[in-house]
Amino acid sequence: MTAETERKIHDTLSRYFGFKEFRPGQEKLIDAVLSGRDCLGIMPTGGGKSLCYQVPALLLPGVTLVVSPLISLMTDQVAALRENGVGAAFINSTLSEAQYAATLRGLRAGEYKLLYIAPERLELDGFRAALADIEVPLVAVDEAHCVSQWGQDFRPSYLRIAPAIASMRRRPAVAAFTATATERVREDIVRLLGLSGPEVLVTGFDRPNLYFEVRTAKNKDAELLRLIDERRGRSGIVYCATRAAVEEVCELLRARGIIAVRYHAGLSDNERASAQEAFQYDDAEIMVATNAFGMGIDKSNVGWVIHYNMPKSLDAYYQEAGRAGRDGERADCILLYSGRDAATARYLIEHSESTDAQADIRRLGAMIGYCKTDLCLRGYILGYFGQEHPVRCGGCSNCLNSVEVDITTQAQMILSCVERVKARLHYSVGRRLITDVLRGEMTEKVMESRLQTLSTFALMEGVSRSKLEGYIDRLVDRGYLAYNEFKALYCTQKAAEVLFGGERVISFERAAKPARARRGGARAAAEALEPAAPAHKPSYDSEALYDALRRVRARAAKQANVPAYVIFSNAALQAMAERAPTTRREFLEVPGVGEKKLESYGDLFIDAVNKFLQDNS
């Protein structure tokens, strides 16, 4: 990248969006787009895909078309761009005849740098004719995985994008974006969108601002209420496995006076739309939903996602949990697990129309593994997606609440027992029988095969069954043991390292007292990692200021008729509360404040800060 380009894109970033630095991958993609190349950006939800085409759109001549699958998402994106002083518009079925005509006039007059459209629009002759005289250097395709039938969100209209682009007078560059990582979907995108020699950029899947926790809960309702009580004032999503559970949980919350809305496939379109809107606009604090509440939720200030039930796969879990913290703020992803969830999930898979139940069961296995593992939860997820990661992240419930225990001896006993049983029987057996042998249980099966004569018989007498099973799970997690297709345990090659190579096995046991501070979750995790920023102002309560600024933001949002996060994200508001800007220059320094936001809201918020400091000194 030339120094000139670099300067230009940084200028645009700070002037319009108020950010100083790019997120990983953004700069590289922007550079590729600006040089006219097709590209495919694969980034996790909240990774900042939008900027990758919004920044180029501002620097390129003409207007950038953005193909987006969902109307609500378009509306909000356009509102947010306008708040940043960027000329933008959308065309979709909600526009009246007159609004449509006005938008086309604006388009011809060059008022927009970005035009959001639904894919169907590209097929309409009227629209194509309107485009004919307009310079379109770039077409950005959002949620590009919708073109693939392998994904869950297939939209036939996405197949029409490539022919439509091919028929344009000058072929624009095409930039496709998705959060879906599988190889198959990726290939489909390149082929079906007709990308030519694209720059493919896959950023890491880590979301450092998310805190992960699994809780095994006997009484989920009580646990849920407790977790929500700790998080009042931040909006959140409760995901449930079934419609019935959504209804029950929503009632439970409402009975406690919490403003919650619900969303599942059994409700009418109207009910669903109004629930989504209430949540989006912060009129309802909590959304209780099945996985039908999914793609296209563009609410960036979701502070937590709690899973009342375990989902069917880690892919689904990460996608749903990932809806928290898109604004980069610390956010909590908590899963309430009970053994019954696994049975329910298995039942749902067996009674679904899935063509590949075997694969579904494997994915479920990885999900259950996540719920039971003692390893770093973040590491477990990243490992599942094939990404390198440190052993410990230091910021998930397993890393924060556990102590290291050396279980090498136990591991050696278990592994050699598995070996000996196999040597005796010439086939592998399940966890149950291995546990019986180690505990010295004279069961029918044991006696039948004379396993009581093995040297490992009763080697771990007195160790409880659940404890022993836990050890075995640990060894499976670490890849020393594995299950074959008959659910029988066998030793992998790695096992030899422990048996003969002197390798230690460390388990992470739950600490007696959680290391987590009372405030809990991501906040505490963040504080454990980094000391609080020193206050630049005479001492004041930044949390109280944050609350005051939230009220100012809510009023401004009502007035502008946009969701609160379109005015300022929680991250921006948090930074504002920490810095307490009292001058326009200080205000502009706040991340998320660009020139237009300074103009529109500078005085309003600076006044609020001044008033707060006065009242509280």
Q: Is 45 a binder of ligand ADP (CB under 6 A)? A: yes
Give the one entry of Zn ion, ligand ADP, none that residue 569 binds, where binding means its C-beta sits below a cut-off of 5 to 8 angstroms depending on kind.
ligand ADP
Give the one entry of ligand ADP, Zn ion, none that residue 261 binds, where binding means its C-beta sits below a cut-off of 5 to 8 angstroms depending on kind.
none
Q: For the segment 548-587, give every residue that binds Zn ion (CB under 5 A).
A: none
Residue 463: CB minimum distance to ligand ADP, A:
47
Q: Which is nearer to ligand ADP, 220 or 323 (CB)?
A: 323
Give the one entry of Zn ion, ligand ADP, none that residue 121 binds, where binding means its C-beta sits below a cut-off of 5 to 8 angstroms depending on kind.
none
Tokens 């990582």 — which residue? 181
Q: What are the CA-CA distances from residue 82 to residues 69, 448, 596 (Å)?
A: 20, 77, 9
Q: Is 581 a binder of ligand ADP (CB under 6 A)? A: no
322-361 footprint of Zn ion as x/- string (CB under 5 A): ----------------------------------------
Does residue 210 contact residue 326 with C-beta atoms inside 8 Å?
no
Task: Please choose, from the candidates 442, 438, 426, the residue with its C-alpha nearest in 3D space to the C-alpha of residue 470.
Answer: 438
The residue at minimum Cβ distance from ligand ADP is 48
Report the side by side order of strands in the sheet with 138-141. 88-91, 114-117, 64-67, 138-141, 173-178, 39-42, 199-202
Q: Is 327 a binder of ligand ADP (CB under 6 A)? A: yes
Q: Is 507 a binder of ligand ADP (CB under 6 A)? A: no
Which member of 51, 63, 74, 176 binds ligand ADP (CB under 6 A)? Answer: 51
Instruction: Report the alpha-carbon distance of residue 279 to residue 265 in Å, rounded.
Output: 17
Q: Is 288 helix (H, G, I), strand (E, B) or coil?
A: strand
Radius of gyration of the chain (CA): 27
Q: Is 326 a binder of ligand ADP (CB under 6 A)? A: yes
Residues 6+ apart with CB under 8 A from 275: 261, 262, 263, 267, 284, 287
Region from 122-130, 134-142, 358-366, 372-380 binding Zn ion, contact rule CB under 5 A: 372-380
Q: Find the helix packing angle between 125-132 and 97-108, rounded to 10°.
A: 20
Residue 177: CB minimum distance to ligand ADP, A:
7
Count the Cβ atoms, other than its own, within 10 Å of residue 388: 8
Q: Is 280 a binder of ligand ADP (CB under 6 A)? A: no
Q: Is 569 a binder of ligand ADP (CB under 6 A)? A: yes
Instruction: Report the alpha-carbon distance of residue 309 to residue 483 in Å, rounded.
Output: 25
Residue 575: CB minimum distance to ligand ADP, A:
10
Which member of 9, 32, 399, 556 binds Zn ion (CB under 5 A)? Answer: 399
The sign one gets for the Cα dihedral 207, 213, 214, 217 is: negative
The type of residue at 479 is G
List beta partners, residue 139: 65, 174
Q: Is 300 a binder of ligand ADP (CB under 6 A)? A: yes
Give the one entry of Zn ion, ligand ADP, none that residue 399 binds, where binding means its C-beta sits below a cut-off of 5 to 8 angstroms depending on kind.
Zn ion
Instruction: Report the alpha-carbon distance of residue 399 to residue 515 in Å, rounded.
Output: 10
Task: List the Cα angle 264/268/273 in 5-degree steps.
Answer: 75
Q: E-assigned strands of 92-186?
A: 114-117, 138-141, 173-178
Q: Is 396 a binder of Zn ion (CB under 5 A)? A: yes
Q: Is 42 a binder of ligand ADP (CB under 6 A)? A: no
Q: Which is nearer to ligand ADP, 47 or 379 (CB)?
A: 47
Residue 143: CB minimum distance to ligand ADP, A:
9
Instruction: Report the alpha-carbon distance of residue 286 to residue 227 in Å, rounded.
Output: 13
Q: Is 23 a binder of ligand ADP (CB under 6 A)? A: yes
Q: For the chain, how long is the longest CA-to-CA vector? A: 90
Q: Is 47 a binder of ligand ADP (CB under 6 A)? A: yes
Q: Which is nearer to ligand ADP, 301 or 309 (CB)?
A: 301
Give the one entry of Zn ion, ligand ADP, none that residue 376 binds, where binding means its C-beta sits below a cut-off of 5 to 8 angstroms depending on kind.
Zn ion
Q: Is 33 a binder of ligand ADP (CB under 6 A)? A: no
Q: Is 203 a binder of ligand ADP (CB under 6 A)? A: no
Q: For the segment 302-321, give every residue that binds ligand ADP (CB under 6 A).
A: none
Q: Is 376 a binder of Zn ion (CB under 5 A)? A: yes
Q: Is 207 a binder of Zn ion (CB under 5 A)? A: no
Q: Which is nearer to ligand ADP, 205 or 212 (CB)?
A: 205
Count the Cβ atoms, other than its own, within 10 Å of residue 43: 23
Does residue 166 contact residue 198 with C-beta atoms inside 8 Å?
no
Residues that bind Zn ion (CB under 5 A): 376, 378, 393, 396, 399
Residues that bind ligand ADP (CB under 6 A): 19, 21-23, 26, 43, 45-51, 300, 326-328, 569
